[in-house]
Each structure stands twice: as C-alpha cells, then as structure tokens.
Structure 1
Amino acid sequence: MRRAALVVVLALVVAGLLPAPAPASAVRGGRAPLLAYYYQWFERSSWQRAKTDYPRLGRYSSDDASVIRTHIAWARSAGIDGFVVSWKSTAVNNRRLELLLAEARAQDFKVAVIYQGLDFHRRPLATARVAADFRLLRDRYARDPAFFRLGGKPLTVFSGTWEYATTDIARITGPVRSRLTVLGTEKSPEGCRRLARVTDGDAYYWSSVNPDTNDRHETKLRAMAEAVHGAGGYWMAPFAPGFDARKVGGTKSVPRDGGRTLRVEYAAAETSGPDVLGLISWNEFSENSHVEPSVEHGTQALDELRRLRGVRAAASPSVPPASSGSVRHQRLGYWPGLLRIAGSAALLVGAVAGLARLRSVRTRKERRT
C-alpha cells in the first residue's frame, strides 16, 4: 500500500496537481533577500513601442492574473524572494497592486513598493500629492501580509528623491515612517548622507553601469553602503543582467555577455554588504534589463540566478517555447487544468496497472512454490 501511495503522489506531482518540494529560502540561509523590480504598466498596446525583445508569455496585459501567477512561480524558482512593484495612486495602478498582492499571498511571495516620484518627463510630482499617496499606501495596502518587511515594517522605496528638497522629503516621509520603512534613491554617498534623517536608507537604482568599462563600479557601491550603514540605515544594492535603452532615447548599451554581466554585478552588489539585493529588473523590456523569460534571451538570466542563489534546477517551472514573428498572448483558461487532470489520470491508470501486473507475477510465483 505504501508503494501504491507513493506512485499516486509522484503521479500528482508530475501532473502539477501537487506542488514539488520548494527549495529552501535564501533568507533562511543567512543571505540577503533578493527582490526584483517589477512593472505593472503594460497594456497590450505597450508592446508596439520601443521594444526589441518580447516575453515568452506573449504581449500581455498587467491586468491578467494568470500572467502574474506565472511570473511569481518563475521568480520563486530562481531564488527571488519578492517583487518591488512600481506604483503611484491611480485607479489602474491601485487595481493592479491589489491583484499582485492577492497572487503573492497565494504563493507565499513578497511585495514591496517603489513610489514613482517623477512624471513621464522626469519632473518631480507635487509634494502634497506624494505625501497623500504615501499615507494611502500606509493605511490601505501596507497591512497586507504579502508585504515584504525590513526592520519590522513594510518596505517602500521613494524614486526620484534627488529632485526633492530635504524639507519636502521630510514632509512626505515624516507622517508614515513609524509604520513604513522608506528608502531614498540617491545616487551618491553625499546624497545618502543628505537624507539620512528623513529616510531609512537607500535603494540605488543603477541599471546602466557597464562593469567592464567602469572600474569604480564596486568601489562606488561600497562607498554608498558605508554612508548608509554609517547613518544607521538600510542599504539595497543594485545589479542587472544588461541594459539597452536606445529605443527610448538612451545612448548606453551594456551587453549581457552570456550571463557574465549578471554574475559580475551580482558579486559587486554582494560585496557591498547589502541588507537587500535589488535586481533590475523582472520585466523592464524598454530598457532591456529584464530577466523574465523572453523570446531573445530565453531563461538565461533565471538559470544564472538559480546557480548564484543555490536553487536546484529541478525547481524551475517549464517555460513555453519562443514564437517566431509576432508573439500572441497565451491565455491559461481551463484547458491546462483539464490537460493536467487527464495526464494525471493516465499516470494513475498506468501505475495501478503496473501494480496489478506485479501482484499477478508474485501470485504465480507463490503458486509454483
């Protein structure tokens, strides 16, 4: 009976109706947690502009729960502990944040928020609006158990702090810091020291560095970490797999070099002694810093992350094959579930038949003796 039960369980796991044993969390191993920057601004029309690569999942909408569910499963399989989702309060952004939180709760995944303090033209939003949004974040969303906590409080990042006066940042962060951890996004040790009293540390968003041509890359990260830690704050160190923003007006291009760029930048980030590692990014396709499985790069970045984080390869979920030409979104619907059930039924039938044959052979042997 034990063997029959084991066969049944294995059949269900293979069919996807029972989860495979999850890899140990990197956090439990004493390593800095890893969060990936995540963008929920995608409409189906978004993929028609400034893109040179496309997701393996197709040209999706950020309102598609099945896409978010798959993103989280893939991220967890590569040792990513949570997403840092880009947000400011609008009807669309709020709806999508709530959707992400719900899917994260269901998969024991974590979510933090990076507040977009600059508008499309890179100008700072009105201080009053930003302050109101942070209060909304504190009162409506930060209580969610899916929120990632740093220092015992939900983690938020204030993007664009370098464009705000220190006094304005104090007006924004002062009312919420008792219940939120708020990191700035300064670009230098001096900037980190400027905001030491009005933020809880710094999350440097540096996606465009080329570690092969910038010989001060690692030195700068260490200097910023020292400035942040010296003031008693938290340091979120950045790393990226590559970069190319020429389609959106940029001039820099950093090649992925077969995964080497990711490995070098990851090592530099770790050397700085981070409290959190910030992966740039899960799905920033306009700047080509994405690690989400894609048509051009496949699963290369996730495979590298899996090795860096010590996650066994068997934990990796399957990725749909790349399509040539235009990529169409693949809706999950009910067919995959039916196929999994049919597959598991076939496996169970085969297992039961195998056990029956084994018993028949044993019975014949017993009769002969």
Structure 2
Amino acid sequence: MTNRPRHPCLFPRLFAGVRGPAHALPWLLALLLILPSALAGHPAAAASPPALGGERLVLAFYYNWFDENTWRNEKVPDFPTTLYTSRDRGAMARQIEQAQSAGIDAFVVSWYGPRTENNQTETNLRVLLDEAAARNFRIAIDFETQGPFFGSSGDVTQALRTLLATHANHPAYLRVDGRPVIFFWRQQRFGVGAWQALRDEVDPGRQTLWIAEGVDIGFQQVFDGHHLYSVAWSADPGAQLLKWGRRVRAASQTWGRKIWVATVMPGYNDTRTGRSDAFIRGREDGAYYAKTWNGALASAADWVIITSWNEWPEGTYIEPSQAYGSRYVDLTREWAARYKNGEGAAPAPAFAATPHSHPCSHAVRTAGGCAARRSQPARRAGCHLSCAGAVGSWSPVTDRGAVHRAGWRCGLVAGLLCRPRWRGLGGGKCGRGPRPVGAGAACAAARAAAAPLEST
C-alpha cells in the first residue's frame, strides 16, 4: 500500500514574521510542546524493516543442479578446477570454504520449491544447509517464481509457507535483524496487487525480508529490497548501478526503508546455451569485475551480490576454474574487504596488463586489434591460442585447463576458430569461424608468434 509522504513542514504558518534567533526561541519551545500531539493524528510512514544490522553482506548466487552430464564442451565455456556433482557433500564443503576465504557471507540458492521428486534444488539444499551450519556459513533462497513446479499463485503461496516453516528456521539460514532473507527471480509473473495479497497471507507481520529482481521498481510497494540479476548487458555497469541505487533510495522515500543490493559480475558468456540472443561480455582480465565492484561501492549498496559463484552455462562463475584458476576468488577477496571496510572505489586494472593466472596464452583486445600473449609455462604446456571477435568483445579460447589431464592443440589462424582436440578422448573438429574484427597486422603478428607451437 502506498503511504502518503509527510509534508516537509507541518506548521508552515507558525514562524510567520519571525526574523531572528532570539525571536524564534519561544516559538521553538512551543513547537516542541505541541509537536507530539500533532504527530499523533498524522499518517505514519510505511512499515519498513528495522535498521539493518550494520553488516555489509557479500552474497553470491549458487546453483545446485549440476551432475555428470554437465561438464561437456557443448554445455559450458569452462570447467571447474575439480569436476563435481551438486549432490556431493564434499563438493559443497569445498565450495563453502572457498567462498568464505573470498569474504562471501552466504550463498543465495535457486529453489524450485519443497517437492523432492525430480527436484534436486530441494534435496541438495537440505544437505547444503547442514554443511553450511557446520562451517558457520549462511544460506538464503532465490525463489524461482517461474520454476517448473509452480503452476499457479497457489503453488507459490504453499511453497513459501513451507519455506518459512522449515528451511527458514534452519540455523544456517540467512537472517538480518532476525528476519529470514528471501530473494525472488522473475516475480513479474504476478502483478503488485497479487503479491500484496500473497504476502498478506503468508507473511502478514512482515517477519521476513523479500528482495525483488528486475527493472520494475513498483514492486517495492510489497517487497523490502531490490536487485538486478545481471548487468552484463551494459559496457558501463558502474553507471547502471549508480542509477538503480538512486531509484531504490527514491522508493524508500515513498514506501519506507528499502534495501539496495548491488550486483557484481566478472563477465558473461552464454553462447553454449543455444539461445538465439546469446552473447559474450568479456572479462577483460578482471577489469569488468572491477567496474561492477566500483559501481557497487559508489552506489552505497546495503549489500552486494555476486552473479555468480557457479552459473557455468552462462559463464558468470567465480568458482575456481581450469581457465582462470583461483583468480576471481582472489579478486573477490580484495573487493569484499574493500567493501566491508567502507572504502571507496579503486582504479580498475588495465586490460590484460598483468599475467593471466592460467598458463595458456589468451587473446586480448588492444588499440591495434588482437594480440596473443604467451607465458613461458604456456610454451612448456604446448598451449595454442585462437582469438575471435564476438559481440564487440574479445574472448580467450583456451583448453579450460585440460592440459593438466588430457592435452590439446588449437591453432591460431586468422579466420579459423579451432576447437580443442582431446587426445585419447575422441577428436574435435576445426570449424570455420568469424574473422576477428579489426585484427589486421596485430593478429597476423600473433599468428606468426604462435607458429613455432603449431607443430607440437
């Protein structure tokens, strides 16, 4: 329900004719005496969350539906350092400890509801909560409103009831000021009025914190905070985060205290999902991640959420990988510390100015086009590199670290993009790809530099 904002001056005529401090003092005393009585009949501001507990939370979206069929070239752009299945307790424990080492306070886990049949988001969540409790880590839910088991608003209502009666009471469940935190994905499935009725039914006392998603700030009439799942569509994510931070603050003026949750991302690559609108937002050797973090800091975010810990098909993972090693865990540790210490923005690293954590060379975008950068470990590993332009970005084409277990070769040839060929694991094919845009002499030089390795 929209609450009417208070008038900036309840007594605009009270000080008429008052010109100086000495004359104003009696009037001020009178005002102090009558103000409580006047306020008693004035409409109160919207019920809002109590002051946040003073904790600058760093959260990360987490997915628990990976199995033995996930780790294939045609499905993901990179592989975890250690392949795993989401049902494995050991993998959960390792991920929690890695996240803690990076300064992450909680995972926000996608959830399709309490059904257990063919729903590993529920069965794996139960185990994850126990593993988190054993390590003083926290878990929250990202309620997938368009999940396969939510056929109607009634299904959503029942699932939320179950969540509040079960998982939200688990010792590891994320609470702020004693209130369980619930993120929502695609709450736009239902209108604001429908959510108002639904929340009045399952949480009439507003004992939980609901965080909406998307570009419609109007849901803040019902929800307690807002986030954008992705900002990767923008080449200037910092400006977008500043803008949305202001929008959430403005919503607070209308509907009471709202929580601004700023999204940070290392990059994006969903080109293996088969989507018609798939695209790549290059990681730029950590520079894009820095842009999002700086935007979050500048927007005075209440909390920060990372998209993502392990969304592998969309290429937003920071979990240790075979292409990047622990680089993004290390970067997260630095940025999380800066945020929690209340520090301001930091200079973004120069694109590809420092050695890559992975031994293989990779293609980088420079003013002159494309250049291949090679390290001595790459020569020893026999890594080859191809560069290709995609949606205005330059992307590394690496072996995802598989040189450590299977070996590969991929030629650098202008106009040809060669897929890795796995020795002993069946052959890959070298397919014709787009000629790198603006490659020119720089790509020719990179190709010549790679020539000595082409025969290995």
TM-score (norm 1): 0.71
- Among 266, 270, 273, the alignment partner of 1:245 is 270
The aligned residue for residue 186 of structure 1 is 214
Q: Is 1:287 the equivalent of 2:329?
A: no
CA distance in 2, matches of 1:104, 1:206: 26
CA 1:207–1:44 in 2, change beyond 3 Å: closer, same or farther? farther
Residues 107-151 of structure 1 show CA distances to partners (whole Å, capped at 9, x for unaligned) of 00011110001147xx98411111111111000110112111134
SS in 2 for 1:37: strand
The aligned residue for residue 410 of structure 2 is none
Runs of 4+ in 1 over 4 A off after TM superposition: none
Residues 20-45 of structure 1 show CA distances to partners (whole Å, capped at 9, x for unaligned) of xxxxxxx99x6621000000111211
Deviates more, 1:70-79 or 1:198-207: 198-207
Cα RMSD for the two superposed structures: 2.5
The aligned residue for residue 229 of structure 1 is 252
Verify the 8 A CA contact 1:124 1:160 in the aligned structure 2.
no
Deviation at 1:236, TM superposition (A): 1.2
CA 1:125–1:267 in 2, change beyond 3 Å: closer, same or farther? farther
The aligned residue for residue 127 of structure 1 is 153
CA distance in 2, matches of 1:219, 1:300: 26
- Unaligned 5+ segments in structure 2 are 1-51, 339-399, 407-456
Q: Is 1:80 the equivalent of 2:80?
A: no
Deviates more, 1:130-139 or 1:39-48: 39-48
CA 1:171–1:307 in 2, change beyond 3 Å: closer, same or farther? same
Q: Is 1:257 the equivalent of 2:257?
A: no
Deviates more, 1:242-251 or 1:78-87: 242-251
The aligned residue for residue 173 of structure 2 is 147
Deviates more, 1:272-281 or 1:88-97: 88-97
Q: Is 1:297 the equivalent of 2:324?
A: yes
- Among 140, 147, 156, the alignment partner of 2:182 is 156
- Among 245, 266, 269, the alignment partner of 2:296 is 269
CA distance in 2, matches of 1:162, 1:139: 25
The aligned residue for residue 324 of structure 1 is 403
SS in 2 for 1:45: coil
CA distance in 2, matches of 1:207, 1:217: 8
Q: Is 1:197 the equivalent of 2:231?
A: no
Verify the 8 A CA contact 1:135 1:175 in the aligned structure 2.
no
The aligned residue for residue 137 of structure 1 is 163
CA distance in 2, matches of 1:66, 1:113: 21
Deviation at 1:322, TM superposition (A): 4.5
- What pairs up with 1:198-213 in 2 under 5 angstroms? 198-212=222-236
Deviation at 1:57, TM superposition (A): 1.4
Deviation at 1:207, TM superposition (A): 4.2
One-letter code aligned to 2:261 = M
Deviation at 1:94, TM superposition (A): 1.8
- Unaligned 5+ segments in structure 1 are 1-26, 312-320, 328-369
Count of matched residue pairs = 283
CA distance in 1, matches of 2:164, 2:67: 27
Verify the 8 A CA contact 1:174 1:198 in the aligned structure 2.
no
The aligned residue for residue 94 of structure 1 is 122
The aligned residue for residue 176 of structure 1 is 202
CA distance in 1, matches of 2:271, 2:95: 26
Verify the 8 A CA contact 2:265 2:307 in the aligned structure 1.
yes
Larger radius of gyration: 2
CA distance in 1, matches of 2:201, 2:176: 18
One-letter code aligned to 1:46 = T
Verify the 8 A CA contact 1:161 1:185 in the aligned structure 2.
yes
Structure with a larger share of its residues in helix: 1
The aligned residue for residue 18 of structure 1 is none
CA 1:125–1:151 in 2, change beyond 3 Å: closer, same or farther? farther
CA distance in 2, matches of 1:175, 1:273: 33
CA distance in 1, matches of 2:238, 2:305: 21
CA 1:288–1:207 in 2, change beyond 3 Å: closer, same or farther? farther
CA 1:308–1:145 in 2, change beyond 3 Å: closer, same or farther? same
CA distance in 1, matches of 2:161, 2:133: 22
One-letter code aligned to 2:281 = V
Deviation at 1:52, TM superposition (A): 1.4
Structure with a larger share of its residues in strand: 2
One-letter code aligned to 1:247 = R
- Among 71, 75, 82, the alignment partner of 1:57 is 82
Deviates more, 1:70-79 or 1:252-261: 252-261
CA distance in 2, matches of 1:45, 1:254: 26
CA 1:201–1:215 in 2, change beyond 3 Å: closer, same or farther? closer
CA distance in 2, matches of 1:215, 1:270: 9
TM-score (norm 2): 0.58
Verify the 8 A CA contact 1:138 1:179 in the aligned structure 2.
no
CA distance in 2, matches of 1:294, 1:129: 37
Residues 73-100 of structure 1 show CA distances to partners (whole Å, capped at 9, x for unaligned) of 0000011111000002231322111111
Deviation at 1:282, TM superposition (A): 0.2
SS in 1 for 2:403: coil
Verify the 8 A CA contact 2:245 2:301 in the aligned structure 1.
no
- Among 238, 243, 264, the alignment partner of 1:220 is 243
